Amino acid sequence: MEPHPPLMVALPCPSTPAAKRPGPSFCRIVFVGLACLLTMPNRSLSASAPSVAVVPLPAEIQSAEGRLEITGKFAVAILGARDARLDAAVARALRRWEERTGLVFPRLPSGPYAISGDAKTAALTIEIGAASPQWPRLGEDESYTLDISAGRAVLKAATTVGAQRGLETLLQLLQSDAQGWFVPALSVRDHPRFPWRGLMIDVCRRWQPVEVIKRNLDGMALAKLNVFHFHLSEDQGFRIESKKYPRLQQYGSDGLYFTQDQIREILAYAADRGIRVVPEFDIPGHAQSWVVGYPELASAPGPYVIERNWGVFDPVLDPTKEETYQFLEGFLGEMAALFPDEYFHIGGDENNGVQWSANPRIQAFIKEHNLKDNEGLHAYFNRRVQAILAGHGKKLVGWDEILHPELPKSAAIQSWRGAEGLAAAARAGHPVLLSNGYYIDQLEPASVHYLNDPLPAGAPLSAEERKLVLGGEATMWAEWVSPETIDSRIWPRTAAIAERLWSPSEVADVPDLYRRLDYVSRRLSEAGLRHIAYREPMLLRYAGDRATPETLAALRELIALGKPILCYTRTQLSPRDPQYLALTTLADCMAPDPQPARVFVLAVEDVLLGHAAPATLEPSFASWRSLASRVKAVAQNAGPRAGELSALADQLAEAADCGAEIVARLASSSQGDQAAWYDALKPRLAKAEQPQGYAEIPMIASLRLLAAAAREQGQRGDLTPEAWRAHLQTVAFPKKNP
Ligand code: ACM
């Protein structure tokens, strides 16, 4: 396998690997080096002084003199229109600040916060033009202004949801110093770049209960995301109660599904946070769980069982039978009445056509109806489903496979296979959403998603077609997440996507994103997300009951230097029936974008660009070596998990040795045979890079670049730092011949 370069930056439109299809046909992820980053437009933001750590960064932010002190006297007034949703949002915000500061804000004798209509006594006034409708809608005005001076903060918005977005900004501005709590004086004019900013959660492959959904809705609100795409049916599980067709959940869910009351609870919770909920029922493929209880819907005789593996499977609804449409009329009608949003997602992806091709009756139907082939039949099915949904007042959304000349233009296309799919759908006149490049389940670094723009400067679209690009969605497919780990796979990286979809396109400074993400990660944690909190209990269980404090300390350090392998590789390595596997490995304790590894990558970049001496890296190697020996000691008592730990420790020690050797070479004037030295080093680095279990050490790619620098330094000539860096990239990561 070709080594991949540092985990920093992707081309603006990286190709996200095909999602559910295991096997060698995945598109390759394209990385470029940090050099590209250094030529990025750097937004000159006076207000983006170190103290401002807001994500997403507002459209306009101007700093001013002074600060607003936050004390126990912090009183809020709501002027203009008032509604219960805004009151509730203010109460949640005040509670969040009380939890951070330990202050107690003014309350009524009966308990609730004293929210008045009197601007004179308030430290924060909120003024909205009109209350938002009960259910959030696409295109609602989410803009707001926030003016903070030493005297007060003034938040204004046309709608409740605009005020909610502004409150989230205000919440992230809170800071403290020796004098106390404060928000800096500044002025914000803010509005989203795209109206559709989503997170999809697959609750099917692995079940995710109500509390997971609710806390992630809180995270979405914090990051100003406004669409929760609820992926409710899959081969591996049917996750919602149907009263009309109860065998769907009775046979298709292992008892793990949302009751309709729970769905209503989630809908209200989301609406309260200005978040639309778009349900997805993936048809006609990805429908194996449907046909466990209703085998007559399938295109081949049953019986069927719930699928326990990951991939693309044959069971597909039979689009030639009127009974299928009668069923869908009943079921989709029931769901259309439950979900208030105008959009309704029908999936439509990865229908492999195997059952259709094998069924002579279905092939005869294709001929009789002049449908040409299976694709034509799929388009026929979509038209029928679209008519059913239109009858219930819904517009359709589907993955990009549903694009077909006969699809009504009102249908939105969600592009997951590539930017070309998005452009093709927009050119055909459809509203479009980008998910390609936002596959957070893959566990790529935040920077990769961050630089993936739904509408990059050079997008081959007319002004009219550009207007059809509604935004995008992060996708949390659930092959490798449990309720315990899922937050750590969503956050904080999804906040980077949220910024891409909210902030102006030129906000693209990766180091500044990471700086702010570290703060927003804490805010997310305070809001109830468990992406940090989950780790310690996981580690305790992993370490076992005999673990000493020293053991735990060593493991904590080790997981901070490792990362989980990409998820599709894990799928390829996984045994049969992975749905049953507990996700409690060392890799599951690791973050996709570990901070210490990122710091090392940046330190290497500084060396490569001549901003720092090679010797500045030596302490890192010393600490890796020391950690490796402590982990080796841990491994001796680690029972069945010793092999994985011992191997990772060996790799870390080898990485440290290689690193020290490279640095010595870089510093030495007597070079010797560089090519022979480099060739001997490469296999050592390759060995140190091998995954152990599902974990790997992400710093090796930087060592490859550093080694290339040692090899090439005699021939550097007068290359500029950037040209030199680009050259090292080609040496360390030569392109494979096609
Ligand atoms: C998908 O990833 N199959 C939409």
Residue 157's CATH number: 3.30.379.10
- Greatest mean pLDDT among 488-492, 511-515, 590-594, 642-646 lies in 488-492
Residue 206 lies in a domain: no
Q: What pLDDT is attached to residue 34?
A: 29
Structure tokens at 621: 């190697």
Give the Å distances, CA to CA, from 525 to 202, 473, 522, 556, 605: 22, 22, 5, 19, 31
Query: What would the mean pLDDT of 615-623 be, rounded to a whole number?
Result: 97
Q: What pLDDT is attached to residue 737?
A: 66
Q: What pLDDT is attached to residue 673?
A: 86
Q: CA-to-CA distance for 416 and 345, rounded, in angstroms? A: 14
Please give the mean pLDDT across all residues of the chain.
91
The residue whose CA has the least distance to atom 2 of ligand 1 is: 19
Closest by CA to 579, choosing from 21, 202, 207, 23, is: 207
Of 120, 155, 190, the one marking the end of a domain is 190
Residue 508 lies in a domain: no
With beta carbons less than 8 A apart as the criterion, state whether 362 and 320 touch. Answer: yes
Q: In sequence order, which ranges of 102-228 are alpha helices (DSSP H)?
A: 160-173, 210-222
Domain ranges, residue 137? 60-190
Tell me, yes or no, if 98 is annotated catalytic. Answer: no
Residue 513 lies in a domain: no
Q: CA-to-CA distance for 238 and 313, rounded, in angstroms? A: 15
Residue 569 lies in a domain: yes
Same domain, 692 and 543: yes
Same domain, 64 and 25: no
SS3 assignment, position 171 = helix
Count H helices, E strands: the chain?
27, 21
Alpha carbon dihedral 371, 376, 382, 388, in 10-degree steps, equals 0
CB 113 less than 6 A from any atom of ligand 1: no
Which of 221-235 are b and which e, b meaning 16 or more Cβ less than 10 Å from the residue's Cβ? Answer: bbbbbbbbbbbbbbb
479-488 tens-digit pLDDT: 999 999 999 9
Same domain, 610 and 722: yes
* 3-state percent breakdown (helix, strand, coil) of the chain, nearest 5: 45, 15, 40
Same domain, 568 and 688: yes
Q: CA-to-CA distance for 147 and 68, rounded, in angstroms? A: 11
Closest atom of ligand 1 to CA, residue 439: 2
690-731 tens-digit pLDDT: 999 999 999 999 999 999 999 999 889 999 999 999 999 999
Same domain, 545 and 647: yes
Task: Indicate if the pLDDT at residue 30 is higher than 60.
Answer: no
Tell how far the Cα of 16 is from the centroid of ligand 1, in angstroms: 11
Q: What pLDDT is attached to residue 671?
A: 65
Tell how far the Cα of 504 is from the centroid of ligand 1, in angstroms: 28
Same domain, 22 and 116: no
CA dihedral sign of residues 312, 315, 317, 321: positive
Of 190, 215, 243, the one marking the end of a domain is 190
With 0-12 / 13-18 / 19 or more C-beta atoms within 10 angstroms meaning exposed / middle / buried, residue 65 is: exposed
Same domain, 72 and 23: no
Q: Is 683 left (phi over 0), alpha (psi -120 to 50) or beta?
A: alpha
Same domain, 30 and 138: no
CB 381 less than 6 A from any atom of ligand 1: no
DSSP state of 17: P
Provide CB contacts within 8 A for 623, sequence distance 6+: none
CB 416 less than 6 A from any atom of ligand 1: yes
Same domain, 22 and 102: no
CB 350 less than 6 A from any atom of ligand 1: yes
The beta strand positions in 549-681, using DSSP E, are 563-564
CB 235 less than 6 A from any atom of ligand 1: no
Tell how far the Cα of 384 is from the centroid of ligand 1, in angstroms: 22
CB 399 less than 6 A from any atom of ligand 1: yes
Q: What pLDDT is attached to residue 51?
A: 65
Task: Indicate if the pLDDT at residue 35 is higher than 50.
Answer: no
Residue 132 lies in a domain: yes
The length of the chain in residues reads: 738
CB 401 less than 6 A from any atom of ligand 1: no
Q: Is 360 left (phi over 0), alpha (psi -120 to 50) or beta?
A: alpha
Of 170, 190, 210, the one marking the end of a domain is 190
Q: DSSP labels for 293-353? A: H-GGGBSS--------S-S--S--B-TT-HHHHHHHHHHHHHHHHH--SSEEE--------
Same domain, 107 and 180: yes
pTM, two decimals, is 0.92
144-178 tens-digit pLDDT: 999 999 999 999 999 999 999 999 999 999 999 99
Closest atom of ligand 1 to CA, residue 19: 2
Closest atom of ligand 1 to CA, residue 286: 3
When divided into structural domains, the chain yields a total of 2
Annotated catalytic residue within 350, 479, 654, 689:
350
Q: Which residues are bridge partners to 107 per DSSP? A: 113
Give the Å distances, CA to CA, from 509 to 48, 515, 549, 556: 11, 10, 39, 30
CB 205 less than 6 A from any atom of ligand 1: no
Residue 468 lies in a domain: no
With beta carbons less than 8 A apart as the criterion, state whether 395 and 413 touch. Answer: no
Q: Which of 350, 351, 422 to mutate to test the pocket of ligand 1 (most atoms within 8 A of CB)?
A: 350
Does 635 or 26 have the greater pLDDT score? Answer: 635
Same domain, 639 and 552: yes
Residue 719 lies in a domain: yes
Tell how far the Cα of 19 is from the centroid of ligand 1, in angstroms: 5
Closest by CA to 157, choosing from 186, 193, 191, 195, is: 191
657-676 tens-digit pLDDT: 999 999 999 988 666 788 99
- Own/partner pairs, 372-376, CB within 8 angstroms, 24+ separation: 375/404
Report residue 719 CA to chain centroid gap.
38
Same domain, 31 and 133: no
The beta strand positions in 418-535, using DSSP E, are 432-434, 469-476
Task: Indicate if the pLDDT at residue 8 is higher than 50.
Answer: no
Task: Indicate if the pLDDT at residue 25 is higher than 50.
Answer: no
Residue 695 lies in a domain: yes
One-letter identity of residue 717: G
Confidence of residue 6 (pLDDT cuts 50, 70, 90): very low
Q: What pLDDT is attached to residue 667?
A: 86
